[in-house]
Amino acid sequence: MTGTMVHEAPSPWQRLPVYAVGGLFQVGYAAGSDLLLVLSLQGRGVFDCLTGSRLARDHVKAHDFFDQIRLTASGIGPLEGQTVRVAGVYGGGLPLTTSDGWRLETGAPAWPAHSVFLSAPGSHEPIFIGDDGPCELRACGFSETGRSFVIATSCDLAMFTRTA
């Protein structure tokens, strides 16, 4: 584990391995999928958020493939030829709810650390999932499928998945 303090999520969610990604600045899910494009100062990566596997990686300057106005980036590997909407230090956002009612919330009860909370459908009691620790929260959110969510900070990537 790196800088982000990530805890287990309630059933049916499962935490996957946390990846160290120094200089992470934007992330985005490919439309209709659980494939996540990650942009960092060291390049681009693609992760499968259902398995936790890194599927592709390059070491080119990610800013060359990122549109700061449209908040989109060019994919690599299985996302080659696709334009992906991204969120992070330059703006944008990932979905904070699923179609079946799961919700993510962020807050700073121990400012300057930002915390991420997960709420089950119909629940008004959010569950603490993690905080950004010595890193800075860049983005958190669900895929369009609602089968995964991520917490991305300036130094690492935490992925969560569910089967149901």
For residue 50, give every residue at least 6 positions away whose Cβ sits within 8 Å of its Cβ, in sequence order, or none: 34, 147, 148, 161
Write down the pTM of the prediction: 0.93
What averages of pLDDT result for each successive group of 10 residues across the chain (164 residues)? 70 94 96 97 96 95 90 97 97 97 93 92 92 90 98 96 85
The phi and psi torsions of 23 (rounded to 5 degrees) equal 75, 20
Q: 134: cis peptide before it, omega within 30°? A: no
Strand partners, 115: 107, 131
Position 1 scores a pLDDT of: 39
Q: Which residues of 114-135 are buried (b: 16+ CB within 10 A; e: fewer)?
A: bbbbbbbeeeeebeebbbbbeb
